[in-house]
């Protein structure tokens, strides 16, 4: 059996396959949102792929951030979901990478947006960390 860096070749191939699968799983929607096209939304320094299905939404953070806390990412995920859905988030849960939201869209399902283009959003935060105004505009191009 051939050895490379202290591992047998079959084990090395197995380790490479596992690493590849783990890396490719990042950004994959949950089962409830499979087949739903994402809308890319940038809020502050976070970039999310937001998927809306009925009165639920999912935001997957797509950018690298150094040790983000859920408390720091949650307001940006909430802003991204509200911008992409046109609805109000009534419940948000998840972690630094993936947030799930329950939506209140008034009556019926979320309104369809005129364009599914990506949005750039900025969320103003008060010094105590509360969310302020949200400004969104379609990304050029």
Domains held by the chain: number = 1
- The pLDDT score that the predictor gives to residue 112 is 56
* Stated pTM of the model: 0.62
Domain membership of residue 130 (yes or no) is yes
Domain membership of residue 32 (yes or no) is no
Q: Does the pLDDT at position 4 exceed 60?
A: no
Q: How many beta carbons lie within 10 A of that of residue 59, not counting itself?
A: 32
Domain membership of residue 30 (yes or no) is no
Query: How confident is the model over 16-44, as pLDDT tens digits?
Result: 444 444 443 456 666 667 778 899 999 98
- The pLDDT score that the predictor gives to residue 90 is 87
- Residue positions counted in the chain: 141
Residues of the chain above pLDDT 70, percent: 57
Query: What are the φ/ψ torsions at residue 71 (nearest 5 degrees)?
Result: -65, -25
Could you give the CA distance from residue 59 to residue 101 in angstroms, rounded to a whole number? Answer: 8
Residues of the chain above pLDDT 90, percent: 27
Query: How confident is the model over 61-100, as pLDDT tens digits?
Result: 999 888 778 888 889 999 999 999 999 988 888 888 999 9
Question: Average pLDDT, stretch 93-118?
Answer: 74
> What range defines the domain where residue 127 resides?
37-138
Q: Does the pLDDT at position 115 exceed 60?
A: no
- The pLDDT score that the predictor gives to residue 7 is 54
Cβ-proximal residues to 7 (8 Å cutoff; 6+ apart), any chain: 15
Q: Which two tokens stand for residue 71?
A: 């408390």
Residues 72-93 as b or e (16 or more Cβ within 10 Å = b)? bbbbbbbbbbbbbbebebeebe
Domain membership of residue 47 (yes or no) is yes
């Amino acid at each position: 059996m051939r050895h490379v860096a202290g591992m047998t070749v079959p084990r090395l191939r197995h380790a490479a396959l596992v690493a590849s699968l783990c890396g490719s799983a990042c950004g994959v929607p949950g089962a409830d949102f499979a087949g739903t096209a994402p809308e890319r939304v940038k809020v502050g320094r976070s970039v999310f792929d937001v998927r809306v299905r009925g009165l639920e939404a999912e935001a997957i953070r797509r950018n690298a951030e150094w040790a983000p806390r859920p408390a720091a990412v949650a307001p940006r995920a909430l802003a991204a979901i509200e911008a992409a859905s046109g609805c109000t988030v009534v419940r948000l849960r998840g972690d630094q990478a993936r947030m799930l939201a329950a939506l209140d869209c008034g009556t019926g399902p979320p309104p369809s947006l005129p364009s599914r283009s990506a949005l750039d959003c900025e969320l103003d935060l008060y010094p105590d960390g509360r969310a302020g105004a949200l400004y969104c505009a379609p990304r050029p191009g």
